[in-house]
Chain A
């Protein structure tokens, strides 16, 4: 009951905060002059557009220093990466009109770069005044965006354009990005709602959402650089990092027994006991839908429906054609035990080089011919000879949302013989395991707790 009133009080505070933060001071100007794209914002926020062009959200790439096998002078990201959650990227699966379905004669627009706040003429990584003017500021900053406008179409010249809502109405609702503004793209990544990372940002699913926090309360952007963490599969970064401890410190508990664990166990391990989203996908065989177009065959799960895999992680990443995952071990003092969302994707590998091949989605989407998709991507990349053979790749995704307090792992969830950790695989000796999986470790404490609770 105490808790309940606290939550209500907090949400009232949050509400009051949004109301009193009040109207955007530029409102009158925009009302009078109309919205003419970023140039309007630049009247008062000079330099913001140019600054945005150098961020991951515009470039879909950055230098990456913690992943094996990468060239330190090159930039990597969704622009050019080849992996099996998407198998295409902005280059090989560039936004375009796909071939007509032989069954319906219909076509549609598809491309990875639909998740980019440009207009496609000024595309991922473009620079200069035209690019500055193409930025969709409102997709992140407007609370009144009409998403019917944000879809691809062909202009008079036959060029494929990514539409935007540039109405004055939308520009009159400027503010700090809400969770929805961010989820417009992040929720549908990987081929559908909550497919890729599988985290719902709702009060039921996450303590922070329940307290009225939004993405940018944690991902506090600075000059549009967005802090991120060390998800083994999130390579591109703006050079800023965030972690749970930034706000909570390393010893956040009243209970000293819990605090002792934070040296070797990441907060997420206890506080994010579940994952969600796609668990496996087959890019070599696509399924036909009701509209007669094809999609990669995908096994989907809801947020909180799957269990994580626990491994040591020192924030450096193993990267081979068949595995993208955490490096680290018990002896390495920089390693902690983290939870990961496990995903496996089947795609074509080049028998000659062993490398994973990428795919242009346009051909398979129309006809189901996945090898035609590989051929189109190879052509774009200038790969002349290759021998496609199907194979699987395993990816460990960071699991950093869906935070819970009430369902956080309690002592016996790890220290009972059927606990969630595989101590042996984590490098503990049999003698140690005997001690770590004995009720002695937690018995007195939990008896005490039981007494208090009843």
Chain B
């Protein structure tokens, strides 16, 4: 087993060296974990939602704009609801906090 693991580590290192298409981390992205306190979304056809979360670290409310279809769908069919804890990344664009990543922390 030990050998398998060390071979694994080696292969992983070698492979990392060969690939070049990993995403470049964006310096402007802010990471946060928080609990949803309010969801504003204008019906089934909405292309955007405004979500208020309480930041776990600062305990302050933060308003996030969600634009991506996958997350919007989860808000519309209530797979994501108030009280859910979210791990998210956002960027400040024109003074608005725009979500770049929005995931429930829990699963089954």
Hey, which bits of chain A sit against chain B, CB under 8 A?
A: 112, 114-115, 144-148, 180, 184-185, 188-195, 202, 273, 289-291, 295, 305, 307-310, 322-323, 342, 394, 407, 413, 416, 418-422, 425
Contacts and interface: CB of A to CB of B under 8 A. Distances in A.
Given A291-B35, A291-B85, A419-B18, 19 more contacts: A112-B108, A146-B77, A147-B77, A147-B81, A148-B81, A188-B104, A189-B108, A191-B108, A192-B107, A193-B103, A193-B107, A195-B107, A290-B33, A307-B11, A418-B14, A418-B17, A418-B18, A420-B18, A425-B11
Nearest to A143: B77
Interface string B12-56: 101111110110000000000111000000000000000000001
A145 B1 contact: no
B16 A307 contact: yes
Contacts of B103: 192-194
Nearest to B12: A307
Contacts of A418: 14, 17-18
Centre residue among B8, B35, B81, B108 by max chain A CB count within 10 A: B108
Main secondary structure of the interface of A (DSSP, over half): loop
Given A147-B78, A289-B85, A420 B14 contact: yes
Contacts of A114: 108
Contacts, number: 86
B92 interface: no
B85 A309 contact: no
A422 B11 contact: yes
Interface of B: 1, 4-5, 7-8, 10-12, 14-19, 21-22, 33-35, 56, 70, 73, 77-79, 81, 85, 103-108
A141 B11 CA distance: 42
A115 B15 CA distance: 35
B35 A309 contact: no
B18 A289 contact: no
B35 A290 contact: yes
Nearest to B14: A418
A179 B51 CA distance: 25
A115 B7 CA distance: 36
A192 B104 contact: yes
Contacts of B33: 290
Contacts of A193: 103-104, 107
A202 B71 CA distance: 12
B19 A184 contact: no
B15 A394 contact: no
Given A273-B19, A305-B22, A422-B11, A115 B108 contact: yes
Contact of A394 (B5, B70, B73): B5
A310 B81 CA distance: 40
A276 to B, nearest CB: 12
Contacts of A190: 107
Nearest to B69: A202
